[in-house]
Chain A
Amino acid sequence: MVNGLPGAGIGGFFYLILALYMPIREGVRAVRGRSRREHWNFIMQQWAIIGAILVGLWLQGWLLRELFLSAPMMSITALVDPTGMMAKPAFDVAGAAATAALVSLAGVVLIAEGLKFLLDFTNND
């Protein structure tokens, strides 16, 4: 639990992608005759959890938009956002942050694989 902030950062996306990739990996294993029934059961369990998380995130996004961008609620949120002009940029930046996290994840993966390639290359020399 020490490496990073659980749930935050790119870790969440990373494990989500790993979970989504599991059926492909297991399919390759099946072709090679190395697949197991327990693995498929496990994949289904993880997909169910990931599915529930995605639904939860969507619901949260919807709820927050309703709460902060819908007209009736504007009078309440006006306490912190009198002009009503700050909420939308916040949601726009939130979307941009998610995109940035995915791009960061891609960058981190590329760097790790690149360093591995470099290590192999220097070892061969």
Chain B
Amino acid sequence: MSKLISGAEIVFKALEDQNVEFIFGYPGGAVLPIYDELKNHKKIKHILVRHEQGAGHAAEGYARSSGKPGVVLVTSGPGATNVVTALTDAYMDSVPLVCISGQVPTHLIGTDAFQECDTTGITRPCTKHNWLVKDINDLPKIMHRAFEVATTGRPGPVLVDIPKDIQFAKTKYSKPKKEKKLNGKIKTKFNQKDIDQLINLMIKAKKPIFYTGGGVINSGPKASELLRELVNITGFPITSTLQGLGAFPGDDSQFIGMLGMHGTYEANNAMHDCDLLINIGARFDDRITGKIDEFSPNSKKVHIDIDPSSINKIVKVDLAIVGDVAEVISSTTKSLKNKNLNLEKSNKQKISSWWEKIQKWRTKKSLDYINSDKIIKPQHAVQRLYELTKNRDTYITTEVGQHQMWAAQHYPFSKPNRWMTSGGLGTMGYGLPAAVGVQIAHPKKLVVDIAGEASVLMTIQEMSTAVQYNLPIKIFILNNQYMGMVRQWQELLHEKNYSESYSAALPDFVKLAEAYGCVGIRAKTPGELDEKIQEMIDVDKPVIFDCCVDPHENCFPMIPSGKPHNQMLLGPKDQEENKITGKGKTLV
């Protein structure tokens, strides 16, 4: 007979059984019994953040860089509501999180008690599932199920709301049962017929393209390896979404860059003109497709995804393969090899004119910008950061805005799980706490948050967390004094009415760094940039790097409003000929 243990202890037992090493949290009245229990579990380290949103993003950074679920512990009421943004962010970008929240004692639920809120009600639309534990006997099962739901199928956040009396109550603990089910419920298995159909399409294609997304990363490092093999043996060009960067080496000749609103000219044109589009683990997001009616009009479309509801949601496809990306790619490659179809050779001629076309688009050099020797161009800053860090295993997080797009464009990745950015929700303030989580998962690695000065101020308090745990994260701020992306849209769409997008008062970031007890560095001219970046890398402390960049630079290329993929707006030179007009304004 196993002995009776408290709800608080059960929480930790369950975490231990899931091999959880870190939890990100903030204490409060309704979770005190769990915090009290913390001292008895040396294997689990608690990271004290400064705001619950920071805990959520840190857990996301941890999860995305390690492939393991992130665990968050918050109190009731404001603790829970503060974490909602991070949960929604994780939901949109399919990041596995398990959030444990305290709740007022069961007899007080519904009485508007101190720090009470309807946590499961509030988080229902932003979690895969959530539970309010009303009976201590349910707790062990719910804890195990929470991890199962968060990590299987399309990953995502879950929340377990535990009233304070349940944390004190006692019951027997039962270990998790070991069975792997997809999606926590649905067992989907694609069949060989689907794969054969895909191969048929691949053989027939003259202008094929792979369009890969975050699903490849979520499927694990093996999926990225398999993808590389498949792309290699087919010889097809490959483009990636923002979330998929790193699944395929950014410097490989078959990689034609990121696609979408700020994607490369060659990637977007190839998407528009292709005759076979193979979507692997991406979801036809509206920042990718542009105008739906004119999206890739002449192609056969294949969609490989683990989530059946992603298929035909936005774009109707000709062939849907529901399954884990790694398994589907592996079967495809195997079948290709079995049939001895070395597409690279047999198809080389067929797709050689396609490649010629792509090369022609490439000569547009759509990521080019006019550099300056007087003022630091933000793109140049990212490029220098890349050059000075490319020889180490570097992890990059970002905030949201222009700097995020420049980072995606100018910082190529060669490995998965090295790029953490808020894509779906577009959460300003994501990057700094995410960097905290990444550094926790990879203590010896270089972790850089490519930030904007507006975004980073939303969660700047987490510098204090970084200092507390000696996390040498580097906050590389491209400081243009504007909410750059807002300013860019106002310039292009709202007749340069820069309504409230200029921050007339900003902190002195160097002094701010010092106030937090970390290192502040400022670069003002291109001449001193390299030296300063090197200094940042060499310091074994958290750094805030204030990189003063050209405040008027815009992010190009850009799919202008109301236009399909093949009508992009290129850099400053091209702009005059391509003014956005009338109806197009609605479609950014």
State whether these chains interact.
Answer: no
Q: Which residues of B contact A (CB under 8 A)?
A: none
